[in-house]
Amino acid sequence: MVKEAKIIIVEDNTDLAEAMKFSLESKGHRVSITTTPEDGLKKIKQESPNLIILDVMFGPDKKTMGFDIAQQLKIDPNLSPIPILMITAINIERPEFGFSPEKDEEFLPVDDFVNKPIQPDELHQKVDKLLEMKISKWVNWPNKRKEPGE
């Protein structure tokens, strides 16, 4: 397990974000929260974290801005190496999307997904896995997905 990683959570549900922060800090990580995609992008650029936890849907109209943010991060050569864990309730709140990480992964360059509500053990397992990777598998997106061992 990687200790004392810098993690940024971009999530507009402050209760959920605070619960994740508390849980991750109990494992020794330094965690900060932003509640809007715009603030999240700014903070990520300023702090260059080890991991980003990114929500899909933001605001009262539940726009899927997390998709856009993930793509913006992966086209920036300074930010593309940072692994992204996407948290989502999109298939519950917007079932018409029919979103699937397996079939939509080329469109959405994130390293792993977790559905809301998030259980602490699952969060820790996914965070540990991504921190051990160190570099996103989508570091070269959209040109090429990074293969394990590259």
DSSP, res 86 = E
Residue 120 near residue 148, CB atoms below 8 Å: no
Domain chopping of the chain, boundaries: 6-133
| Euclidean distance between CA atoms 78 and 24, whole angstroms | 25
Q: What is the signed CA dihedral for 23, 24, 25, 31, rounded to 10 degrees?
A: -120
Contacts of 103 (CB under 8 A, 6+ apart): none
- Show pLDDT as tens, one digit a residue, over the chain (150 residues): 667 899 999 999 999 999 999 999 999 999 999 999 999 999 999 999 999 999 988 876 777 788 889 999 999 999 999 999 999 875 544 544 555 555 555 667 888 888 888 899 999 999 999 999 999 988 887 775 555 455
CATH architecture for segment(s) 6-133: 3-Layer(aba) Sandwich (3.40)
